[in-house]
Amino acid sequence: MPPDPDWVCIERFYGGEPSAFNELFKKHKTRVLNLAFRFVRNRQTAEDIAQEVFIKIYEKKFHFDSSAKFSTWLYKVTVNASIDRTRKKSFFDRSLDKTETDDEGGGKTLLEALSDSSAISPADTVASEEVKNLVQMEIQKLPERLKAPILLRHFENLSYKEVAQILGITAKAVERKIYHAKEILRQKLSKHLS
């Protein structure tokens, strides 16, 4: 099997070729940022996590596992950094007046988003936003052992095998954790959506 080109880039970078790091950064920055955002639900914090991950790679502060695919290893590092950050601070404070950055870098308060003229109707917009926020809030409340698998599988579209490699567990364990997470979410959300 040919060597993973990303690990080859790492070797080139550590061998004294700075442009190799730039290649890796450009290729993976969006993936790292999006994954971090799924955990913390805050654009600025996700950017901080992504920056931290790439700085540590740049400064050789990680133990590299070149037996894994680079992208799988990078997901693992990002998941761990995101979990560390969520343990340090709670991210459940949402306010109608608080400006939140969207994926395009723009910012709107929740109130502005709800009053968007392109919305089908204010009632539908409010209901849809409330359901989305409720689901996100309940996912954030899951224990880390259940939250990470469900985010990686259903929001990052990774296979059970890839999630297992990232979390250092078996694919069967990933399946069980996702099942338990969905059961908890079903119970919590049924109270609000029935």
What does 70-129 look like in DSSP terms, one character per residue? HHHHHHHHHHHHHHHHHHHS------TTSEEE-TTS-EEEHHHHHT-TTSS-HHHHHHHH
The fold adopted by the segment(s) 1-90 is Rna Polymerase Sigma Factor; Chain: A (1.10.1740)
pTM beyond cutoff 0.75: no
% of the chain exceeding 70 in pLDDT: 76
Domain 1-90 identical in fold to domain 142-194: no
Mean pLDDT computed over 179-186: 90
The pLDDT of residue 45? 92
Which residues have C-beta within 8 Å of that of residue 130, sequence separation ≥ 6? none
The pLDDT of residue 123? 47
- Tell me the C-alpha distance between 46 and 41, whole Å: 8
The pLDDT of residue 22? 93
159 pLDDT higher than 80: yes
pLDDT, the chain, mean: 80
Domain map (residue ranges) of the chain = 1-90, 142-194
The model's pLDDT over 56-113, given as tens digits with 9 standing for 90+, comes to: 889 888 778 778 889 989 999 999 899 888 877 643 444 444 555 554 555 655 445 4
Residue 164: band (very low, low, confident or very high) from pLDDT cuts 50, 70, 90: very high
Which residues have C-beta within 8 Å of that of residue 40, sequence separation ≥ 6? 46, 49, 82, 85, 86, 91
Mean pLDDT computed over 26-54: 92
- CATH number, span 142-194: 1.10.10.10
Higher pLDDT, 20 or 116: 20
